[in-house]
Amino acid sequence: ETGVTQSPTHLIKTRGQQVTLRCSSQSGHNTVSWYQQALGQGPQFIFQYYREEENGRGNFPPRFSGLQFPNYSSELNVNALELDDSALYLCASSLGTSPDTQYFGPGTRLTVL
């Protein structure tokens, strides 16, 4: 096990709703990256948080936002949910902002109806 935890494990929402996903990083890790993995695709980078600040963002609209807390845990918020937001959301923790190794949590599976 990587020591990275995510909650909830599964979630069902309807279009237009908002969702918050949570991630606790591995002990000692100060960086959390979030990824979206649609069915049959590879994970796509959403953004990274380092010391409570966003530190890099992928090609995702502003309705995807995040937070990092002083204990390095993190939240991913998605507003105005769309059907295409249905995916596995993965967080990965690491030490430092440009590590070669990131440790993934088990993911949250979001279904938007």
Residue ranges in contact with another protein by CB under 8 A: 2, 31, 33, 35, 40-45, 48, 50, 55-56, 58, 90, 92, 97-98, 100-102, 104-107
23 versus 112: smaller Cβ distance to another protein:
23
**Cis peptide bond upstream of 8, omega within 30:** yes
Pick between residue 17 and residue 53 the one whose CB is nearest to another protein.
53
- Toward another protein, which CB reaches closer, 66 or 105? 105
Q: What is the dihedral of CA 57, 62, 64, 70, to 10 degrees?
A: 70
